[in-house]
């Protein structure tokens, strides 16, 4: 009987252990298990370059979060029988901090129908946690409106199309209505700039934008939160959206009708493409939803939730 598959899996496992990575967290064991000796041992949680996480001993004298590390085999202990036992430990590769989201890089996507609170939540996140997050500017061909708060970059249809065909806009939503024909999009360069600053890009999306981002950067790069209005029935949810759209005073009645038609399609999308959502949240209270998002992000990025 051939053991080739078993050997292949074992070798693959070993190769995965020998990838470089970034130090996510660490702790020092003042009293390690007896067979490791009596000296304190520093153990780190390391995010490898393929996105997986491993716990291993650290060789760095002064470890810090974000430190770039690489694996090295070292003698761990000698058994009573004289057997030499080796382990994989990690040593620093440089003294410079590596941006937390560089390997792999993540995008936080807030998706949901108009009026659900996506833009407000994204602003609250970046204002309360600006050291971790930054909003990605949205390109749009529509004109400036009352209530816009610096989240948009206004361009003409011609400019938008030129950037799209040049590959600069990598996520596009075309939203037709009876009264206007508008496009929205995100540029890869804006997202890359936020990654370079070591922060988490936050995008406000609808279904097509979310699909485009997942396609371009890879599904695993998008931490996706689906936002729903409160209500047990579809009708109750749409009623909540209608109330919120009217209350914010930004849209005409004609525009609100168009947005509700799109919202119906968005609600269907939540059921049809569950694979695109990591979390579904009902937005009954803004502060509660922001706390819930930060609590979930803290598990991924090891930041302190508010």
78, β-bridge pairs: 84
Local confidence band at 98 (pLDDT 50, 70, 90 cut-offs): very low
DSSP 167: T
Query: Which letter, b or e, does each residue of 55-94 get, where b requires 16 or more Cβ atoms within 10 Å of its Cβ?
Result: ebbbbbeebeeebbbbbeeeeeeeeeeeeeeeeebbbbee
Average pLDDT, the chain: 78
Check whether 177 has a pLDDT greater than 60.
yes
pTM metric for this prediction: 0.61
Helices vs. strands in the chain: H and E counts, helices first: 8, 14
Q: Whose structure tokens read 């609100």?
A: 256
Do 128 and 93 have their domain in common?
no
The Cα 195–Cα 100 span in angstroms is: 9
User: 168 and 77 in one domain?
Assistant: no
pLDDT score of 33: 58
Parent domain of 47: 4-97
Q: Residue 92 region, left (φ>0) first, then alpha (ψ -120 to 50), else beta?
A: beta
8 Å CB contact between 116 and 280: no
User: Residue 161 and residue 174: Cα distance in Å, rounded?
Assistant: 12
Residues 134 and 241 in one domain: yes
Domain boundary among 97, 117, 138: 97
Q: Could you tell me if residue 235 is inside a domain?
A: yes
Q: Residue 96 corresponds to which tokens in the numbers above?
A: 């410079």
92, 176: one domain: no
145 has pLDDT over 50: yes
Angle at 147 between CA 287 and CA 195, to 5 degrees: 60
User: What pLDDT was estimated at residue 305?
Assistant: 39
Percent of residues in the chain assigned helix, strand, coil, to nearest 5 = 35, 30, 30
- Torsion, Cα 26 27 28 34, to 10 degrees, reads -100
Write the DSSP symbol of residue 247. H
Counted domains in the chain: 2
Q: Of 149-153, 220-224, 267-271, 287-291, which one has max mean pLDDT?
A: 220-224
Mean pLDDT of 257-272: 80
Same domain, 79 and 114: no
Span 182-213, pLDDT tens digits? 899 999 999 999 988 888 999 999 889 999 99
Residue 87: inside a domain, yes or no? yes
Q: How far is the CA of 116 from the CAs of 3, 61, 130, 189, 245, in angstroms?
A: 55, 49, 22, 28, 9
Bond from prior residue into 300 cis (ω within 30 degrees of 0): no
Which CATH number covers residue 193?
3.40.50.300
Higher pLDDT, 33 or 200: 200
Reference 262, options 148, 142, 147, 176; nearest CA is: 176
Same-domain status, 93 and 112 = no
126 and 215 in a single domain? The answer is yes
Highest mean pLDDT (candidates 95-99, 257-261, 277-281, 300-304): 277-281
- Distances from the Cα of 137 to the Cαs of 42, 151, 188, 205, 253, in angstroms? 41, 5, 11, 12, 27
β-pair type (169-176, 222-228): unpaired
- What's the CA gap between 17 and 5, in Å, rounded? 19
Same domain, 205 and 251: yes
* Same domain, residue pair 132 and 214: yes
Asked if 86 and 112 sit in the same domain, the reply is no
Residue 102 covered by a domain: no
The CATH number linked to 76 is: 2.40.50
Tokens of 4: 């080739």
Domain boundary at 71, 97, 123, which? 97
Structural domain contains residue 306: no
Kindly give the interhelix angle for 286-301 and 118-128, rounded to the nearest 10 degrees: 60
What 3-state class would DSSP assign to 198?
coil
Q: Do 28 and 151 lie in a common domain?
A: no
Question: Could you tell me if 291 and 171 lie in one domain?
Answer: yes
Q: Is residue 138 part of a domain?
A: yes
């Amino acid at each position: 009987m051939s053991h080739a598959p078993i050997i292949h899996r074992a070798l693959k496992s070993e190769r995965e252990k020998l990838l470089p990575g970034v130090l996510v967290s660490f702790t020092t064991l003042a009293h390690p298990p007896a067979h490791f000796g009596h000296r304190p041992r520093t153990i780190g949680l390391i995010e490898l370059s393929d996105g997986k996480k491993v716990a291993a001993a650290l060789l760095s004298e002064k470890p810090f979060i974000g430190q770039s590390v690489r694996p090295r085999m070292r003698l761990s202990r000698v058994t009573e029988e004289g057997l030499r036992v080796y382990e994989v430990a990690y040593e620093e590769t440089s003294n410079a901090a590596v941006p937390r989201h560089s390997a792999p890089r993540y995008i936080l996507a807030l998706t949901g129908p108009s009026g659900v609170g996506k833009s407000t939540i994204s602003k609250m996140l970046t204002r309360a946690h600006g050291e971790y997050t930054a909003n990605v500017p949205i390109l749009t061909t529509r004109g400036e409106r009352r209530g816009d708060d610096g989240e948009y970059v206004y361009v003409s249809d011609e400019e938008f199309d030129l950037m799209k065909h040049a590959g600069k806009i990598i996520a596009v939503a075309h939203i037709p209505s009876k009264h206007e024909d508008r496009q929205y999009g995100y540029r890869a360069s804006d997202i890359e700039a936020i990654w370079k600053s070591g922060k988490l890009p936050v995008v406000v999306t609808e279904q097509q934008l979310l699909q485009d981002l997942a396609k371009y950067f890879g599904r695993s790069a998008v931490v996706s939160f689906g936002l729903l209005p409160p209500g047990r029935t579809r009708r109750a949810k749409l009623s909540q959206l209608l109330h919120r759209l009217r209350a914010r005073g930004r849209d005409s009645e004609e525009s609100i009708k168009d947005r509700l038609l799109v919202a119906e399609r968005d609600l269907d999308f939540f059921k049809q493409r569950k694979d695109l959502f990591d979390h579904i949240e009902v937005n009954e209270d803004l502060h509660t939803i922001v706390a819930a998002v930060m609590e979930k992000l803290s598990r991924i990025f090891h930041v302190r939730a508010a």
